[in-house]
Amino acid sequence: MFGKKEHLVGLDIGSRTIKAAEIVITNRGHRLKKFGVIDIEADVIQEGEIKDPEAVAVSIRKLFKEAKLKEKNVATSIGGYSVIVKKINVQSMPEDQLQETIHFEAEQYIPFDINDVNLDFQILEQSENNPNQMSVLLIAAKQEMINSYVDLIQMAGLHPSIIDVDAFSLQNIFELNYGTNTGNVALIDIGASKTSLNVRRGASSEFIRDIPFGCNQINQQIISHLDCSFEESEKLKFGKDPDKISAEDLKGIVTAVIGDWCTEIRRALDFFYSNYPDDQLNKIFLSGGGANIKEFHQLLADEASTEVETVDPFKNLQVNHGQLSTSYLEQIAPQAAICLGLAIRRVDDK
């Protein structure tokens, strides 16, 4: 009578904040129905590994209550060292046949025991260099990590409908807002402890990698400099206690850390250029907490020799500005990207 409810809640479980969003499809397009953010303790999730599931589950329940989220079906995403995404070439065959042989194909590329991972794939296109082969995007994730996130979501009283990959969630919200005809772009999400990189050549992803660095490195340098707690370093990072660290010293720490980020990102981009020497990036789009660091934009633009812009994940969404002010959306936008990418998924999506 009421039709099947296909939408769900996007739940981005980061190592310092958890974001949740609910998006519904209307006659006018995608509408943001609910959105919320909650901070969590620095040590309950480390490098994607859930150290204190009960504490995280309590935070998720609190977030759903504060954001007035009633929907129980959720989509979340994972990344880091437990997830491998690789573009490979295989002999051309129907999808059902590849489904039967994907384990054999994957063993050549996956550095884990093939029996300990969940595998998925997406057929992309015929290989550019060999008409008898096709390009396939191979995704492998450790079952142990997937199970820990499934258990966590169930502990919070919710139903895990989809486990996605951070880089794909970022890509989905980017395509919704900017389309697929954007030329060659790099989507880079700098979180607290991990950076996701997705290089798109035309309409398809050519290179996806997670790099183990993020905004917590700034905190660690402040802690080393002042011998303070993580909570104190978080305040100092945002200039809230200028008596303890001068603006000059803080800028020196930030500049050194983001200089290292730029070097690592450049190395990753060099891998793309080595495969496509005639192609150039048209633009880099930043998201995550690191996207709010102004000096990072300029340093990265210089290092990568291309324009750098902060992604706007709300760009093509209908938003009730009575509930969420424009200034708040501008402030939270970079950190909301992956969460919103999850929220546009639908129950029973592949």
Query: Tens digit of pLDDT for each residue in 139-190?
Result: 999 999 999 999 999 999 999 999 999 999 999 999 999 998 889 999 999 9
Instruction: Tell me the Cα Rg of the chain.
Output: 20
| Of 98-107, 151-160, 215-224, the least confident | 98-107
Q: Are 12 and 19 in contact (CB under 8 A)?
A: yes
| Residue 185: other Cβ atoms inside 10 A | 22
Residue 314 has pLDDT above 90, yes or no: yes
Alpha carbon distance 108, 158 (integer Å): 37
* Cβ neighbourhood burial of 204 (10 Å; 0-12, 13-18, 19+): middle
Supply the pLDDT for residue 224.
92
Helix (H, G, I), strand (E, B) or coil at 115: helix
Percentage of residues in the chain having pLDDT higher than 90 = 57
| Residue 270: other Cβ atoms inside 10 A | 10
Handedness of CA 20, 169, 40, 218 (dihedral sign): negative
Q: What is the DSSP string of 100-126?
A: HHHHHHHTTT-SS-GGGEEEEEEEEEE
Distances (CA, A) of 268 to 208, 246, 276, 286: 9, 34, 13, 15
- Alpha-helical (H) ranges within the chain are 53-66, 95-106, 143-155, 166-178, 216-226, 230-237, 247-275, 294-304, 326-343
Supply the pLDDT for residue 240.
77
Q: What is the DSSP string of 293-307?
A: -HHHHHHHHHHHTSE
Helix (H, G, I), strand (E, B) or coil at 63: helix
Residue 276 has pLDDT above 90, yes or no: no
Which has the higher per-residue pLDDT, 243 or 313? 313
Q: Are 55 and 41 in contact (CB under 8 A)?
A: yes
Which has the higher per-residue pLDDT, 254 or 127? 254
Q: Which residues of 250-266 are buried (b: 16+ CB within 10 A; e: fewer)?
A: beebbeebbeebbeebe
Residue 5 has pLDDT above 70, yes or no: no
Residue 1 has pLDDT above 50, yes or no: no
Q: β-pairing, 17-26 with 9-13?
A: antiparallel
Supply the pLDDT for residue 141.
94
Per-residue pLDDT tens digits for 202-218: 778 888 888 889 999 99
Domains of the chain: 9-221+243-343 (3.30.420.40)
Distances (CA, A) of 263 to 12, 140, 215, 280: 27, 27, 15, 18
Mean pLDDT for the stretch of residues 122-140: 83
Q: How confident is the model at residue 350 (pLDDT cuts 50, 70, 90)?
A: low
76 forms bridges with which residues in the sheet?
11, 163
Alpha carbon distance 103, 177 (integer Å): 35
Mean pLDDT for the stretch of residues 15-29: 93
Greatest mean pLDDT among 89-98, 219-228, 334-343 lies in: 334-343
Supply the pLDDT for residue 3.
40
Alpha carbon distance 74, 153 (integer Å): 8
Residue 310 has pLDDT above 70, yes or no: yes
Residue 290 has pLDDT above 50, yes or no: yes
Supply the pLDDT for residue 80.
86
Residue 4 has pLDDT above 90, yes or no: no
Q: Which amino acid is at 321?
A: H
Length of the chain in residues, anyone? Answer: 350
Continuous segment of H or E residues that includes residue 201: strand 195-201
Residue 221 has pLDDT above 60, yes or no: yes
23 forms bridges with which residues in the sheet?
32
Residue 196 has pLDDT above 60, yes or no: yes
